[in-house]
Structure 1
Amino acid sequence: MHGRVRRLGDDGGTGERLAAWLEEIGLADQLGPAGLPSFRRGADGAAYWTEPGTGEPLTPERLTELDAVLHQQGDEPAHAVPVALVQLRRKAAVRAGLLASAWHTYASLAELRGRSENATRFAVHKAAERGGLLVVVHDDGRTMVPAFQLDEAGDVRTELGAVLEPLLAARMDPWQVWAWLTQPAALLGGQVPHEAARDPEEVRLVQHAAVRLAERARASA
């Protein structure tokens, strides 16, 4: 198989150049998530390129096409950066940071609220349906309730209700909502939205910023 893939992989020419370039700029791991052909290094150190889904080895023609796609950004193709892969890497880094922060499962939220898990599950679904609670579903199927939006009793913080409502009503990606609310925001001069909302003098500004972000999200949908 290696010999076959190596021959169809351009004998270390285009395939090796692309692989070395992607490794150098730290984007090799983003090929698969982007639905593009990917490669692995064999025991001999060579790059073996395969098609997504089928696992079939890439032909020289497909490698040439991939080369053109990855270098199509910018005025100087030789120095181009595959923007889509950079964006995927940033998105993955943001998600990793969010997953490392505090969030609840149905079980942990039920314990915090002092209610049964079934009752909590129902309450979460109803609150999410009316746009009053941010709920994020992971790719593996886990349902997560980010903890930043909750008070000590496990209820949504009063001051965040009017902030969450426009964002969730705009059908924004829940991951994007989570990220915007918990990271420095340009619309707030670098303040973290959910933290700024604790200040009675800042909460109206946070609400306004949320409305503006929701409008932009609708416009680009």
Structure 2
Amino acid sequence: MTEEQRAALGEELATWIESLGLEGHLTEAGLPTFRRDGGSGARARWIDPGTGQDLSLAQLQDVERLLRNEGSEPEHAVPVALVVLRRHARLRVELLATPWFDYAALAEVRGASVDATRFAVHKAASTHRLLVVPVDERSVVPAFQLTAEGELRPDLAPVLEPLLAARMDPWRAWAWLTQPAALLGGLVPERAVTDPETADLVLTAAVRLAERVAAGS
């Protein structure tokens, strides 16, 4: 009976996660994963990442509690952590679809050597004047913060400094700077800062956001 319960619960959880499109984010969330050895129609097998063995019924019940721990009605709960991870993954794809430079590409635009460009990028990043985002094993410089010649936009420095000094997550900073911001009534910060009528508002919003980041909220 225990084996039947384990198989039924495993299948129920797997089907639920698949229906939400979240199966690809289990590992990132530090949770066990499942697979269907016989194809899409096969029963789901949940695997203990530490041992590589199938999860026991008790372990599956622990996974279920973790996944359904949001909301007052567990049967209708959504695994919020996985949803957030999916949203972040989608956002990263969207951001990487916008213009950005690696060291070699930026060096070409600047007409400088790769070594000189790398040094300049590191120096600007260390003084909180340039946002550099880690992507796999590369360092990416989002293009929005540079001029057509590859130089730092002077109007953005006062906006970047408080955010980067507060150690804001680089992906979050990239997203906030380039998408409509609630603190600005839907304005895009990196664009609004170019308008004298809204520049001060952008700076104030950046400082307030940096304070929240530094406070850990």
Q: TM-score, normalised by structure 1?
A: 0.92
Post-superposition offset of 1:82: 1.1
Q: Which residue of 2 aligns with 1:156?
A: 152
> What amino acid does structure 1 have at the position aligned with 2:145?
Q
> What amino acid does structure 1 have at the position aligned with 2:168?
M
Q: Which residue of 2 aligns with 1:24?
A: 19
Counterparts in 2 of 1:216 and 1:9: CA distance versus 1, 3 Å: farther
| Structure 1 position 71 matched with structure 2 position 68 | yes
Asked whether the equivalents of residues 127 and 133 of structure 1 are also in contact (C-alpha less than 8 Å), the reply is yes
Q: How does 1:119-130 map to 2 (within 5 A)?
A: 119-130=116-127
> What amino acid does structure 2 have at the position aligned with 1:89?
R
> What amino acid does structure 1 have at the position aligned with 2:72?
D
Asked whether the equivalents of residues 129 and 160 of structure 2 are also in contact (C-alpha less than 8 Å), the reply is yes
> What amino acid does structure 2 have at the position aligned with 1:88?
L
| Structure 1 position 81 matched with structure 2 position 78 | yes
Q: Which residue of 2 aligns with 1:214?
A: 210
- Pick one of 94, 107, 111 that aligns with 2:108: 111
Q: Which residue of 2 aligns with 1:34?
A: 29
Post-superposition offset of 1:8: 6.6
Give the total of aligned pairs: 214
- Pick one of 156, 161, 172 that aligns with 1:176: 172
Give the SS at the match of 1:220. coil
Q: Distance in 2 between matches of 1:38 and 1:90?
A: 19
Which deviates more, 210-219 or 46-55? 46-55
Q: Distance in 2 between matches of 1:185 and 1:127?
A: 25
Asked whether the equivalents of residues 166 and 210 of structure 2 are also in contact (C-alpha less than 8 Å), the reply is yes
The sequence identity of aligned pairs, in percent, is: 57
Asked whether the equivalents of residues 48 and 55 of structure 2 are also in contact (C-alpha less than 8 Å), the reply is yes
Q: Distance in 2 between matches of 1:53 and 1:34?
A: 15
Post-superposition offset of 1:207: 0.8
> What amino acid does structure 2 have at the position aligned with 1:18?
L
Post-superposition offset of 1:197: 1.2
Q: Which residue of 2 aligns with 1:15?
A: 10
> What amino acid does structure 2 have at the position aligned with 1:201?
E
Post-superposition offset of 1:54: 3.6
Asked whether the equivalents of residues 9 and 58 of structure 1 are also in contact (C-alpha less than 8 Å), the reply is no
Across the aligned residues of Structure 1 and Structure 2, the Cα RMSD in angstroms comes to 1.5
Q: Distance in 1 between matches of 2:122 and 2:4?
A: 50
Post-superposition offset of 1:153: 1.0
Asked whether the equivalents of residues 9 and 49 of structure 1 are also in contact (C-alpha less than 8 Å), the reply is no
Q: Distance in 2 between matches of 1:9 and 1:29?
A: 26
Structure 2 unpaired stretches of 5+: none
Question: After superposition, what is the alpha-carbon deviation per residue over 1:49-82, rounded to whole angstroms, capped at 9, x for unaligned?
Answer: 1012442211111001111111111101111111
Asked whether the equivalents of residues 170 and 214 of structure 1 are also in contact (C-alpha less than 8 Å), the reply is yes
Structure 1 unpaired stretches of 5+: 1-6
> What amino acid does structure 1 have at the position aligned with 2:129?
G
Q: Distance in 2 between matches of 1:214 and 1:9?
A: 52
